[in-house]
Amino acid sequence: MSNNNNIIALSDASLIAMLGAFVKHHRLQQNKTQFQLATEAGLNRTTLAEFENGKKTNLNTFVQLLRALNLLYVLEPFKVEFTLSPIQLAKLEQKTRKRASRQQNLVKKIKSSW
């Protein structure tokens, strides 16, 4: 079974526990206490402990923890970038102006009353 299928088979609770384990692993790798990381992330230590244990979580907490651990790069796969197909690009290039048009004389000549 591929790794992707393993992830798909996990329950929501298991996925949340996996996020908590990820944060805990990197916190310990950086030799930070729960109190230190919670303070750096602007969280309560209890909130961090519950997150690491997979008991209480929200996306904002996860982002704050990633930022404090300098791990925001893990969110890069979620970045949506719009790209144009070669056909769309060619159509846009056809619509771009190739040359300037003559300026029209917008000022009307005023007839002299002489």
pLDDT, tens digit, 9 for 90 and up, residues 47-85: 999 999 999 789 999 999 999 999 999 999 999 888 878
The pTM for the full model equals 0.68
Average of per-residue pLDDT across 89-111: 69
Name the superfamily (CATH) of residues 9-79: lambda repressor-like DNA-binding domains (1.10.260.40)
Average of per-residue pLDDT across 12-31: 96
| Angstrom distance (rounded) from CA 62 to CA 57 | 7
Q: Token digits for 1? A: 């079974």
Helix (H) / strand (E) containing 49:
helix 45-52
CA geometry: angle 100, 106, 107, nearest 5 deg: 140
The CA-atom distances, in angstroms, between 31 and each of 20, 23, 49, 84, 107 are 16, 12, 16, 45, 75
